[in-house]
């Protein structure tokens, strides 16, 4: 069966995988990223972006009356993330899917020190669910998956096997790769710096209620 002249594309973006790729590349100045624009710049001329789906989880804030430096850092990170997600929510044809953080206790076997870490959960499940549902409902001809999470191998493989006329194209964030995803995807490539430069949100965004969102100063 021939591909349609204009291929429908839905972008699925693993927010944390993308963020850590940017961080490891020392691309802090690109954190203020318009992911819909980025997705559109990764398309071929005969492809049309139908929608962008962004998957993330809210950073857990400090507990109780914790005034430690770590607590302050968490508070600032949460504020920056909230501003960013509010900014993304103003973009057309973009939906944000939120997972959650789970607290886990850790203990040092040598000194018996205890501490708590937070792990992001459900992003891979949410991405897999949306990919499969959209494929079965025939909402795309090509899925653009921005992630290098090998946990997504199974849904990618299943879609390629069940729907041979559909394509799953994986765009790896900077400094991120997955040999397993390479094997099952229709094709793959790494997002280049030039695409990030051209895909930044406006410095200031005015919400419908008049509130102005400013790009975090540490992301300049």
93 within domain boundaries? yes
- Low-confidence residues of the chain, pLDDT below 70? 1-4, 61-67, 101-109, 112-121
- Determine the structural domain holding residue 26 and report its residue range: 7-219
Q: Considering the entire predicted model, what is its pTM?
A: 0.88
CATH number at residue 61: 3.40.50.1010
> Residue 144's closest CA among 45, 6, 38, 30?
38
Is residue 58 domain-resident?
Answer: yes
pLDDT in tens, 23-55: 999 999 999 999 999 999 999 999 999 999 999
How many independent structural domains does the chain possess?
1
Sign of the C-alpha dihedral computed for residues 83, 175, 189 and 161 taken in this order: negative
Retrieve residue 9's tokens.
């594309």
Burial 153-177 (b: 16+ CB within 10 A, else e): bebbbebbeebeebbbbbbbbbebe
For residue 1, being part of any structural domain is answered with: no
Identify the pLDDT of residue 73.
Answer: 82
In a domain, 2, yes or no: no
How confident is the model at residue 207, as a pLDDT? 93
């Amino acid at each position: 069966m021939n591909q349609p002249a204009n291929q429908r594309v839905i972008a699925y973006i693993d927010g944390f995988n993308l963020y850590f790729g940017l961080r490891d590349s020392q691309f802090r100045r690109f954190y203020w990223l318009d992911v819909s624009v980025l997705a559109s710049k990764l398309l071929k001329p005969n492809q049309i972006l139908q929608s962008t789906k962004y998957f993330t989880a809210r950073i857990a804030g400090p507990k109780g009356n914790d005034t430690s430096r770590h607590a302050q850092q968490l508070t600032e990170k949460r504020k920056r993330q909230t501003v960013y997600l509010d900014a993304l929510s103003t973009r057309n044809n973009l939906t944000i899917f939120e997972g959650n953080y789970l607290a886990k206790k850790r203990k040092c076997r040598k000194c018996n020190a205890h501490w708590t870490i937070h792990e992001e959960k459900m992003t891979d499940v949410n991405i897999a669910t949306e990919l499969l549902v959209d494929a079965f409902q025939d909402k795309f001809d090509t899925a653009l998956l921005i992630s290098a999470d090998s946990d997504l191998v199974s849904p990618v493989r299943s879609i390629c096997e069940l729907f041979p006329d559909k394509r799953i194209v994986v765009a790896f964030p900077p400094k991120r790769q997955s040999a397993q995803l390479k094997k099952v995807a229709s094709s793959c490539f790494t997002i280049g710096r030039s695409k990030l430069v051209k895909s930044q949100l406006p410095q200031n965004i005015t919400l419908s209620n008049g509130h102005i969102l400013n790009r975090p100063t540490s992301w300049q």
